Every structure is written in C-alpha cells, then in structure tokens.
C-alpha cells in the first residue's frame, strides 16, 4: 500500500507567496504598459498638434516658400514615425502638387528606400504596407517593382499592389492587373471592384488593353473590362461592346456589357436593348432598362412602356421609374396605365409617387 505524500505547511506558504508576487508583478507590468502607452500617445498628440499647421499648409498647396515643408523634414529622428503616419493619412486624400510635396516629406525620411526593401519581405503585412506606401508617394518609377506583387501568394498583398498602381496611374500596368483577375497559380483572383478601380485610374495607355480584355476566355476578366468601359471613356469601344453582346454567354459579363452599351451606344442600339430588357436573367434585363434610360431617346419610352406590366416586380418598377426620368412622354405613359386594370397600375403608381417626392425634395433644397 502506497504511503500518502505529506506537504508541509512551510512549502504551501512558500508557493502562496510566489503566486502573490507573480500576480503583483503581472499587475505592475500591465499598469506600466498602459501608462507608457498613454504617455506616448500624449507625447505624439502634442507633437502632431505643433506640426499640424505645417502639414495643412503643405497639403493645401499654400506653402509658397517651402518653410512648412522644411519644418516637417527636419523633425528629430525619433519622431519621424509619428510624422510619417500622419503624412501618409493625408496623402490618401490629396492629389496633384500638394501630394507630391507631402511625398517629399516621406522621401526625406527614407520611406521610399524602406518601402522598396519591404517589397521582398517574408512578411505579407510588410509587403502590403510597402506597396501601399509607394503608391501614396506617387513613386511612378516604382511601378515595375509592384507588378510582381499582383501574383503574390497573399490576397492582401495583391489588393494593396493593385490599389497602389491605381494611385500611380500608369496605364502600362493594365495588362498585369487584368492578369491578376484570373491568376493561374492562385485559387482566388484580384477582386473585380479593385481591378475596376485601378483600370479606371490609369492613363489612356490602358484603353487598348481594356478593349482586348473583352475577348478574354475568362468571364471574370470580360466582366471587369465591360464594367470599366461603362465607367471611363474608352474611344472606339462601342463596336467592341456590340460584338460581345451577340456572343456573350456568361450572365454576369453580359450584364456588364449591356450596362456599358448605355454609355457608349446610341439610337442604333434601341432594338437590341429592348430585346435584352425581356431577358430571362433579371440582372441582364435590369441593366438593359438602365441603358435605355441612360440613352434618353424619345424611342426609349416606347421600349420601356410594355415592361411596366412585366411579372417581375423589380423590373416593372425599375422600368416605371425610368419612364419618369424620360420627360413628359414617359409620365403620360404611366398616367395612362393608372386608368386601366392591369399589372402596370402598382409600378406606375409607385414611380409617380417617387418622382413627386424627389421633386418636392429638390424644391425644398
């Protein structure tokens, strides 16, 4: 039979005191860390309060003698990170010469070299931060260094690189951005909204690449290209869009092409848009209704009128709202629908009430 172990009172007392001292040390560490953080925050706030007038002067373009710029670049080395964070936050909101002046502050503090080195870091957070910093600094010469990051293994890095390239505005990066939408080695591509944001910010060198992308085998790339055509001017895009409408089979890409036709098309596209407004896919049909409204032609009223009786409530209401935006002829068509006993009564009543409320709101404003 085993003999029970006896723990002495002295040992228990010693263990208890060790636990008490450990708890006290932990509490002191927590309180000391919090106090140190609060002290640093107050110190940083005081520094930024002193430098904020100079930052605002540079950001507003009113630093004619460059005295404010010199004050920002001459801060002590230990305070540089605080100033750089504040300047970076401002850089995301300004453009033109003020942005270039703020970028010179970061450049004087060595942020460009830090960012270029960080592009090859093992840390995805560092790579993303480095790419975004180069974009904020409008370092256009760094665009070739950012292109490989569009195929990075980290989705966050890919997004940061694409958005940085958007700030640079270099159209020569358009092909690489579109390639990132449908990567070969990564499970997920660049989100469509990021790709559209970048391509819309690029200069005219991107236009031929965008047109070419409408023929890409991947529907995600075609969707991005069509969306961009509907947002930014792409000279000569109308024939390309018309050609793709006749061939497109992917509903999402087709919806984007139909929407784009409302921006680049004309009277010759009324027939095809009228047909697409009855498409079985409601997203395609809604895009056609919006394009008919956007063309703003008198013949659009005749094309939209029958759609107010469509069995799909969203489509019928959207067509009715479009008619209210097409002038007296469209509203007369809706007023006529109120006299009958057809499915068009409810959408017509809804659209006319909405139009009246909008008109009253504009009158009050």
Least confident of 14-28, 75-89, 128-142, 254-268: 75-89
Last residue of a domain, one of 199, 230, 264: 264
Q: Would you say 282 and 315 are in contact if contact means Cβ atoms under 8 Å apart?
A: yes
Let me know if residue 149 belongs to a domain: no
CA atoms within 13 A on the CB side of 127: 23
Residue range 78-134, pLDDT digits in tens: 778 888 888 888 888 888 888 888 888 888 888 899 999 999 999 999 999 999 999
CATH number of the domain within which 326 lies: 1.25.10.10
Provide the residue range defining the domain that includes 189: 169-264
Does the pLDDT at position 329 exceed 80?
yes
Last residue of a domain, one of 229, 264, 299: 264
Last residue of a domain, one of 220, 249, 264: 264
Least confident of 34-38, 242-246, 249-253: 34-38
- The answer to whether residues 274 and 242 belong to one domain is no
Of 209, 242, 236, 239, nearest in space to 225 by CA: 209
- The answer to whether residues 226 and 289 belong to one domain is no
Which DSSP string do the residues of 257-291 spell out, in sequence order? HHHHHHHH--GGGHHHHHHHTT-SSHHHHHHHHHH
CA distance 20 to 30: 15
Does the pLDDT at position 12 exceed 60?
yes
Note the Cα 55 to chain centre separation in Å. 26
Let me know if residue 283 belongs to a domain: yes
Non-local (6+) Cβ contacts of 278 within 8 A are 285, 307, 310
Which residue shows structure tokens 């930024």? 48
- The answer to whether residues 209 and 275 belong to one domain is no
Of 131, 129, 137, 135, nearest in space to 150 by CA: 131
Look at the chain and report how many structural domains it folds into: 2
CA distance 114 to 120: 11
Choose between 102 and 286: higher pLDDT.
Answer: 286
Can you give the pLDDT at residue 157? 95
Highest mean pLDDT among 25-39, 96-110, 167-181: 167-181
CA distance 144 to 172: 9
pLDDT-derived band at 166 (thresholds 50, 70, 90) equals very high
267-278 b/e (C-beta count within 10 Å ≥ 16 → b): eebbebbbebbe
pTM greater than 0.85: no
Let me know if residue 19 belongs to a domain: no
């Amino acid at each position: 039979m085993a003999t029970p172990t006896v723990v002495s009172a002295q040992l228990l007392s010693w263990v208890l005191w060790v636990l008490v001292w450990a708890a006290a040390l932990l509490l002191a560490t927590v309180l000391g860390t919090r106090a140190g953080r609060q002290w640093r925050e107050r110190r940083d706030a005081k520094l930024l309060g002193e430098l904020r007038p100079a930052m605002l002067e540079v950001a507003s373009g009113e630093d004619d003698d460059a005295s404010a710029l010199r004050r920002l670049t001459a801060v002590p080395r230990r305070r540089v990170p605080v100033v750089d964070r504040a300047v970076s936050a401002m850089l995301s909101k300004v453009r033109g010469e003020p942005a270039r002046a703020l970028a010179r502050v970061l450049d004087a503090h060595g942020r460009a070299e830090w960012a270029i080195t960080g592009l090859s870091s093992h840390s995805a957070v560092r790579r993303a931060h480095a790419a975004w910093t180069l974009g904020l600094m409008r370092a256009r010469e760094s665009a070739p260094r950012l292109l490989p990051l569009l195929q990075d293994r980290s989705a966050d890095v890919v997004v940061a690189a694409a958005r940085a390239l958007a700030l640079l505005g270099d159209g020569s990066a358009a092909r690489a951005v579109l390639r990132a939408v449908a990567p070969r080695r990564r499970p997920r591509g660049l989100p469509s909204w990021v790709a559209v944001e970048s391509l819309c910010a690029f200069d005219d060198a991107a236009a031929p690449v965008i047109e070419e992308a409408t023929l890409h085998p991947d529907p995600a790339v075609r969707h991005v290209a069509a969306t961009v055509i509907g947002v930014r001017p792409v000279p000569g895009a109308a024939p390309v869009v018309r050609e793709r409408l006749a061939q497109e089979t992917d509903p999402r890409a087709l919806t984007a092409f139909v929407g784009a036709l409302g921006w680049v098309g004309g009277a010759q596209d009324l027939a095809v848009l009228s047909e697409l407004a009855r498409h079985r896919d409601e997203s395609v049909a809604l895009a056609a209704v919006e394009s008919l409204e956007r063309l703003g032609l008198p013949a659009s009223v005749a094309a939209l009128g029958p759609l107010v009786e469509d069995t799909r409530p969203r489509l019928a209401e959207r067509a009715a709202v479009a008619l209210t935006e097409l002038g007296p002829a469209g509203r007369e068509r809706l007023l006529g629908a109120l006299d009958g006993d057809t499915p068009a009564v409810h959408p017509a009543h809804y659209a006319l009430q909405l139009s009246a409320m909008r008109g009253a709101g504009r009158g009050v404003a």
